[in-house]
Amino acid sequence: MTLMYALFNTFYGALKLITGIVAVYQLVLSLYGLWHRKQAVSHAPKKRFAVIIPAHNEERVVGPLIDSIKQQTYPDHLFDIHLIADNCTDHTAEVARMHGATVHLRENASDQGKGYAIEWMLNRLKEMKAEYDAIVMFDADNLVDPEFLAMMNDHLCRGDRVIQGYLDTKNPFDTWISVSLALSYWFDNRLWQYARRKLGLSCTLGGTGLCIDYTLLQEMGWKATGLTEDLEFGIRCVRRGIIPVWAHDAKVYDEKPTGFHASFRQRLRWQQGHFQCAKEHMIPMFIQGIRERNLAKIDMAVYLFQPMRSMLLFVGAMLMFALQYAAPEQTGTVSAAATFATDLWVAVNLLLFLEIPLALILERVNWRAYFGLALLPFFLWTWGPVTLQAYFTRSNRKWYHTVHKRAIRLDQLRER
């Protein structure tokens, strides 16, 4: 056995050990998401909400969102809709006003991105001396379930301070890209987010469908202006000892990209932002969690490791294929122990993949979603090059806007 192959075996063994431990951890935690009972609203309307919508050139989709918010079962006098027309060059502001939102015009060529727009809007509310109990954030392409605000009120009345709603998809069956993303979200919602909710762990904030206690925002400030502002804020909450909770029955529907290029660029931004947060917080969060024996902080550190895990899996697999091609005679000289370890590692990751159709069954999604499983392995593989490129461009802080086109109304969504 050559020295190169021996070194590779050592590296690949360590890679499988690390990624395997994380996979087993996720597999065990996901079991807590198997059983779900809908939580009834038990508190009368009380909390007053400021609904904030950051929007950049969203004239095609913002109207249906505002209409869906105005269709809430929650009393009209207990929420206001504030739309931020952020450096818009189209008719977003006019459309929003026509549908009943209060529009705030923001023009700032240097500080671009949703995080900056949110921070600017929160400062405006402070200047206006607006009296609210909580802030709710939606992306401009969203649709909102009629009971969303009622459920957020219920959580706030129970003492929760940061709440993340269920992230569903309004266009899952447009293309193989949109259905692949929808499959990932359905799995994540049930066997990642909801499972952690039942264990008292932090959910991961999704950037939309997010409710934050207004007093907490005034105490902490927003200060989340990176590529993944939701992740930044969630990390700060967990490090402060505040656990963001998952509201499984409060649904918000967003538009998924339909083309590969748009999806690649969106995921690249997510991973770049994730690497930036991991660099700053992963190790300190893990150490803090160990010292305090705080599983929520350890779990958040494990989540911050996920892009690195994806990259290691991708690089390791590519190296293995290259080695098999360059020196096929070496690949057969592996020990029984190494073979067993590989088989065990493959089995654990295969079980994780098989949890995706299980999540579809548990969430009772439309039968057409199951056809998307055929191309899902290839889509998941593309996370490898996305994450690899993100790692080498992780210093990038330029915000890329995702174009939204699907002006679907809430009543059309129900008919599907």
Per-residue pLDDT band at 4 (split at 50, 70, 90):
low
Domain 1-416 - what CATH class? alpha beta
Does the pLDDT of residue 325 top 80, yes or no?
no
State the greatest distance between any 2 C-alpha atoms of the chain, in Å, as a whole number. 75
Domain ranges (residues) in the chain: 1-416
Least confident piece of the model among 9-13, 224-228, 313-317, 396-400:
9-13
% of residues, the chain, pLDDT over 90: 69
Residue predicted with more confidence, 271 or 18: 271
Does the pLDDT of residue 334 top 60, yes or no?
no
CB atoms within 10 A of CB 357: 15
If you average pLDDT over residues 247-267, what whole number do you get?
95
Does the pLDDT of residue 274 top 70, yes or no?
yes
Contact residues for 50 (Cβ-Cβ < 8 A; gap 6+): 79, 80, 82, 125, 130, 132, 134, 135, 136, 214
Does the pLDDT of residue 415 top 70, yes or no?
no
If you average pLDDT over residues 86-100, what whole number do you get?
96
pLDDT digit string (tens) for 132-185? 999 999 999 999 999 999 999 999 999 999 999 999 999 999 999 999 999 999
Say what the pTM is.
0.91
Report long-range pairs for 374-379 (Cβ below 8 Å, ≥24 apart).
375/176, 375/180, 376/180, 376/183, 377/353, 379/176, 379/177, 379/180, 379/181
If you average pLDDT over residues 291-317, what whole number do you get?
89
Per-residue pLDDT band at 402 (split at 50, 70, 90):
confident
Per-residue pLDDT band at 314 (split at 50, 70, 90):
confident
Does the pLDDT of residue 332 top 80, yes or no?
no
Contact residues for 297 (Cβ-Cβ < 8 A; gap 6+): 238, 239, 285, 286, 288, 289
Per-residue pLDDT band at 50 (split at 50, 70, 90):
very high
Calculate the average pLDDT of the chain.
89
Does the pLDDT of residue 323 top 90, yes or no?
no
